[in-house]
Amino acid sequence: MASSNSGERVPLIRLAGVSKRFPNGTLALDNVNLDVQRGELLSLIGLSGSGKSTLLRHLNGLHQPTAGEVFVEGLNVSKAKTSELRELRRNIGFVFQLFGLVGRATCLENVLTGALGRLRGPRYGIWSYPKQMRREAFEHLDRVGLASQAYQRADTLSGGQMQRVAIARSLMQRPKIMLADEPVASLDPESSAQVLELLLRVATEENMTVIVTLHQVELAVGWAKRIVGLRDGQVVLDRGATGLTQHDVMDVYRRVDHESTPKPSFAAENANLTQLAQTQLQK
């Protein structure tokens, strides 16, 4: 991994003219150019099908671009070998909408799977992980407030708790970058706020770079410092979150056929979260 001693000039993440056409012909990304600096808190917004998930998946090599190049931590993801990809993924936490926990395994075991990249050989069951790692996993569960559920099966948890376990699993990787694809889309508002707050807290504590895709603009504005809007695979908005107006966002949510335009009204609704975000960031 090339570390960027040269400061903020070399961006941590760079997408240069990235396009992605799926085998079935869908053009999911259309000439995307995007630089993300170390420590940024960025939120991707856009309608369903605009390419948010596809973009995130290019960053850890789950997808390969059909045109253009993707650089992450100096590695050209689009040309990386399998072993380099594995190395890259080890440094990137990825949080999914549907959590991706093994339901039949305990929470502790689920967190431990985050350490697989550091270990040689397959592991099955808590016993197969070194003691030191189990201790570490416990600590991460503590951080997300679920140490008391350590020996409970993951499928007995609530959605919000599952997502927190998934975050603990990512922390087990000690990642520099955290990607979250609609981490709260399956959650009720209260759990959503909890999960987003947690993401923010660990991001600031670890000085992580975070990209979160969010369906709701008000959550995105309350959470991130920078907002990037996608429409039909193109970047149509890229600016700071503060002072973002309804008008700025209109463009992102305009459908091609102009048939319906959802009216995002976010300014006041999530004042709590916005406030929380700002106080956190000032620290």
Partner 1 sequence: MRGVSRSKMPKPPRRWQTFALLIIFVSYVAATVWSWTFIDMTLTTLFGGFSDLWNLITYMLPPNFDNLPTVIEATIETVWMALIGTFVSVLLSVPLAFLAARNTTPNSVVFAIGRAIITLARAIPTLVLAAVFTLALGIGPLAGILALALHSIGMIGKLFTEAVENSEEYSREAVLSTGGGKWKTVVATIVPQVTPAFIGTALYRLDINLRESAVLGFVGAGGVGFVIQTELRGLDYQRAISAVSVIFVVITIIEIVSTRLRASIIGDSLAKPGRVTERSKKREAKDQRMIIDAVTTRQLTPPMTYERKLRAMMGITFLVLLVTAIITIEMPVISSFGLLDDVWRSILRLFPPDFETAGADLWRGIAETLAIGFIATTLGLLISLPLGILSARNIMAKKFVYSTTRLFMLGLRGLPELVVAVLFVSAMGLGPVPGTLALTVGTATFMAKLIGDALEEVSSAPREAVFATGASGIQEFFSAVLPQALPNLVSQTLYMLDVNLRSSTVLGIIGGGGIGFLLLSALRVLEEQTVGAIIIVIFVIVYAIELLGSFVRWIVE
d(CA 14, CA 101): 30
For the bound state, the minimum distance from the C-beta of residue 155 to partner 1, rounded and expressed in Å, comes to: 10
Q: Does 54 bind Mg ion (CB under 5 A)?
A: no
Q: Which helix (H) or strand (E) holds 237?
A: strand 234-240
For the bound state, the minimum distance from the C-beta of residue 96 to Mg ion, rounded and expressed in Å, comes to: 10
The packing angle between helices 189-206 and 159-172, to 10°, is: 10
SS3 282: helix
Taking the mean position of all CA atoms in its chain, how far away is CA 180? 2
Which residues in the 6-45 window bind ligand ATP by CB under 6 A? Answer: 22, 24, 26, 28
Binding residue (CB under 6 A) for ligand ATP from 13, 41, 45, 50: 50
For the bound state, the minimum distance from the C-beta of residue 134 to partner 1, rounded and expressed in Å, comes to: 4
Which residues in the 45-84 window bind partner 1 by CB under 8 A? Answer: 53, 60, 62
Closest among 43, 47, 81, 41 to 61, alpha carbons compared: 81
Which residues in the 167-206 window bind partner 1 by CB under 8 A? Answer: 169-170, 172-173
d(CA 54, CA 47): 13
Binding residue (CB under 5 A) for Mg ion from 43, 50, 53, 161: 53
Binding residue (CB under 6 A) for ligand ATP from 46, 61, 114, 229: 46
Q: Where are the alpha helices (DSSP H) in the chain?
A: 52-59, 82-90, 107-112, 131-143, 159-172, 189-206, 217-223, 246-250, 271-282
For the bound state, the minimum distance from the C-beta of residue 253 to partner 1, rounded and expressed in Å, comes to: 20
Closest among 32, 81, 84, 72 to 54, alpha carbons compared: 32
Which residues in the 92-131 window bind partner 1 by CB under 8 A? Answer: 92-94, 96, 98-106, 108, 113-114, 116-117, 119, 121-124, 126-127, 131
Count CB neighbours of 3 within 10 A. 9
Which residues in the 99-138 window bind ligand ATP by CB under 6 A? Answer: none
Binding segment for partner 1 (CB under 8 A), chosen from 11-19, 145-153, 247-255, 275-283, is 145-153
Instruction: Enumerate the β-bridge partners of residue 69.
Output: 16
Contacting residues toward partner 1, per CB under 8 A: 53, 60, 62, 86-94, 96, 98-106, 108, 113-114, 116-117, 119, 121-124, 126-127, 131, 134-135, 138, 147-152, 166, 169-170, 172-173
